[in-house]
Amino acid sequence: MSMNETTYDYVIVGGGTAGSVIANRLTEDPGTTVCVIEGGPDDRDHENVLRLRDWLSVLDSDLDYGYTTTEQPNGNSHILHSRARVLGGCSSHNTLISFRPFAEDLDEWVAAGAEGWDNATVQSYADRIKCNIIPIAEKDRNAMVKDWVSSASEAAGVPVIEDFNALTSHGGGFADGTGFLSIAYDPYTGYRSSASVAYLHPIMDVRKNLTVLLETWVGQVLFDGDRATGVSATTSGGEQITVNARQEVILAAGAVDSPRLLMLSGVGNAEELAAVGIESRHDLPGVGENLQDHPESIIMWETNERVPEETVMDSDAALFVRRDKSDPRPDLMFHIYQIPFDDNTKRLGYDSPEDGYAVCMTPNIPRSRGRGKLSLTSSDPEAQPALDFRYFTDPEGYDEKTIVDGLKIAREVAATEPFKSWLKREVAPGPKVQTDEELSEYGRRAAHTVYHPAGTCKMGAADDDTAVVDPRLKVRGLRGLRIADASVFPTLPTPNPMVMVLALGERAADLIRQDRAAEKKETR
């Protein structure tokens, strides 16, 4: 073995949300060695990463891969798809809004072939999550957002909910409601309780069986026949290294980079790989398909007085509405932003209120019907992949209608006291935009992402040719290779997905341990 070659039991690509969980759980056994390879630096060296309220300063910075979208004829072609380049992954730059999935979300997974991912099982894994998930502390709740919650409740005819997760963890879910969010944070310091904070910081430099390689980029998965044997990677100093896995390579590089890495390693649609000059190792047409997101739009107002200071991360409450009474889950979600969230409105020529005098509502589509595709544009590992979300292309026009309904409901909230009295004028789309056609045109052009790409290596039954991984997260048709991150979601859960990613990491570690124990028993 050469100097730049090392061997561990497990190699985890990506020290992000799921990767941090898996690394912690696998190294609970001191006899198991794990190497995490993370493309970004240590989050402990970045105060603005640790301080949740500074989250926007991390977006579009050198800690953001900043993926773009392809031309979106029916939507917004200018969305920047932030993905964190730092330990903890997107849990290190997101807003840490923490929702457990709904029971029916997981029924859909099981129906899609994800056997064993039923609600009872997944909730039991969510119970294990180490992040400090709590409803926003009273001291962080500001008067304007409290008034917004009252008005949202009255205008939409929905109850105020004090703890959304109490209803999903043991009651299966809720139909509608509004209230302050639950966040993974430390209310005393305002610091994140991200995956890296909760799962890695306490054990890094403590557990001798854990190695974390930072600022190191995995370029390829290495194979011996159909078995993944390790990865090749480049360190920040430009050194090429090989990291071997005695047992397994686990991809936890996220919904963009896990399929990208598979394709660069020759695993994907053979014809499409050939078209960009990559020799196919294993024809797996599902890689990169099924790209999903929670699309959203925005409505912004100028306030009469300065928005009060108290906040956790400037987006502290939500509203859920259910239009379709045949489904027990909500089908429209709104975040409130206590700041001008104006990237897309500015581009369309709207002015922005002075800092401290803006409030926004962002209606989003919890179960969007759009399905996109991620593909490689070249065999150059540095070339950005093409992310074609195909926003607002579902033939029924469901996504478009949801955004139009959302903008109308947001206006009803704004017309209801006590929130009404905070507002001076509607800035975007503005009072001239009234008809459904006008609202649709504006809503789609100003559309943004809730930053929830998923589904690009979807899980399905072992004999489902469109699936990339089986229900034990093993890449179909290969050995020694699993994927455990948001890319394996067959469908996006109704609410924000991070808790589902954390629970998936918890269960992935169990599956890996169970399979290893069974293998040991067999060879005895």
Dmax over Cα atoms in the chain, in whole Å?
75
Q: Which is nearer to ligand FAD, 84 or 204 (CB)?
A: 84
**Within positions 250 to 279, which residues make up the interface with ligand FAD, using CB under 6 A?**
252-255, 257, 261
Residue closer to ligand FAD by CB (options 18, 249) is: 18
Which of 214, 228, 486, 512 touches ligand FAD (CB under 6 A)? 486
Nearer to ligand FAD, 32 or 165 (CB): 165
DSSP 250-310: EE-SHHHHHHHHHHHTTEE-HHHHHHTT---SEE-TTTT-SBB--EE--EEEEESSPPPS-
Residue of minimal CB distance from ligand FAD? 16
Residue 6: exposed, middle, or buried by beta-carbon count in 10 A (0-12, 13-18, 19+)?
Answer: middle
Give the span between the Cα atoms of 250 and 21, in whole angstroms: 12
Considering the complex, state which of residue 375 and residue 496 has its C-beta at the smaller distance from ligand FAD: 496
Contact 228, 480 (CB under 8 A): yes
**Quick one: DSSP state of residue 197?**
I
CB nearer ligand FAD, residue 142 or residue 220: 220
Phi-psi region of 276 (alpha: psi -120 to 50; beta: other; left: phi over 0): alpha
Closest distance of CB 381 from ligand FAD, Å? 9
39 binds ligand FAD (CB under 6 A): yes
SS3 content of the chain, % helix, strand, coil (to 5): 30, 25, 45
Measured over the CA atoms of residue 13, residue 19, residue 24 and residue 27, the dihedral's sign is negative
Show contacts with ligand FAD in window 192-251 (CB under 6 A). Answer: 217-218
366 binds ligand FAD (CB under 6 A): no
Q: Which of residues 269-328 bind ligand FAD (CB under 6 A)?
A: none
> For ligand FAD, which stretch binds (CB under 6 A), given 37-45, 139-147, 351-359, 436-444?
37-45
Give whichever of 85 and 141 is closer to ligand FAD, judged by the CB atom: 85
Please select the residue that binds ligand FAD; options are 8, 10, 11, 17, rule is CB under 6 A.
17
Q: What is the CA radius of gyration of the chain?
A: 23
Q: Which of 112, 485, 506, 507 binds ligand FAD (CB under 6 A)?
A: 485
CB of 505 to ligand FAD, least distance (A): 7
Binding residue for ligand FAD (CB under 6 A) from 319, 501, 508, 509? 501
Judged by DSSP in three states, 509 sits in helix
φ, ψ of residue 158 to 5 degrees: the values are: -125, 155
Which range of residues in 359-367, 401-409, 431-439, 493-501 is near ligand FAD by CB under 6 A? Answer: 493-501
Catalytic residues: 452
Q: Which stretch binds ligand FAD (CB under 6 A): 14-22, 351-359, 369-377, 434-442?
A: 14-22
- 58 and 49 in contact (C-beta within 8 Å)? yes
Residues touching ligand FAD, count (CB under 6 A): 40
**37 near ligand FAD (CB under 6 A):** yes
Among 457, 498, 508, 512, binds ligand FAD (CB under 6 A): 498
Q: Which is nearer to ligand FAD, 19 or 460 (CB)?
A: 19
CB 472 within 8 A of CB 511: yes
Would you say 392 and 400 are in contact if contact means Cβ atoms under 8 Å apart?
Answer: yes
Provide the minimum distance between the beta carbon of 339 and ligand FAD in the complex, in angstroms, as a whole number. 14
Which CB, 87 or 321, lies closer to ligand FAD? Answer: 87
Query: Closest distance between ligand FAD and the C-beta of residue 473, in Å?
Result: 13
User: Which stretch in 32-40, 100-108, 119-127, 355-363 sits in contact with ligand FAD by CB under 6 A?
Assistant: 32-40
Residue 514: both structure tokens together? 């169970």
- Least CB distance from residue 59 to ligand FAD, whole Å? 6
* 320 residue type, one letter: F
Look-up: residue for tokens 């799921």? 18
Run of H or E including 423: strand 423-428
What whole-number distance in Å separates Cα of residue 26 and Cα of residue 372? 34
Q: Which of residues 321, 451, 475, 508 is near ligand FAD by CB under 6 A?
A: 451
Contact 479/440 with Cβ under 8 angstroms?
no
C-beta of 127 vs 354, nearer to ligand FAD? 127
Three-state DSSP class for 521? Answer: helix
Q: Strand pairing of 5-13 and 34-37?
A: parallel
Q: How many CB atoms lie within 10 A of CB 355?
A: 10
SS3 462: coil
Site for ligand FAD in 133-152 (CB under 6 A): none
Q: What mask, x for binding ligand FAD by CB under 6 A, covers residues 74 to 103? A: --------xxxx---xxx-xxxxx------
Rounded CA separation 412/364 (Å)? 16
- Supply the minimum distance, in Å, between the C-beta of residue 90 and ligand FAD: 3
Region from 122-130, 399-407, 475-483, 496-504 binding ligand FAD, contact rule CB under 6 A = 496-504
Phi, psi of 75, rounded to the nearest 5 degrees: -135, -140
Which residues contact ligand FAD by CB under 6 A? 13-19, 37-40, 59, 82-85, 89-91, 93-97, 217-218, 252-255, 257, 261, 451-452, 485-486, 496-498, 501
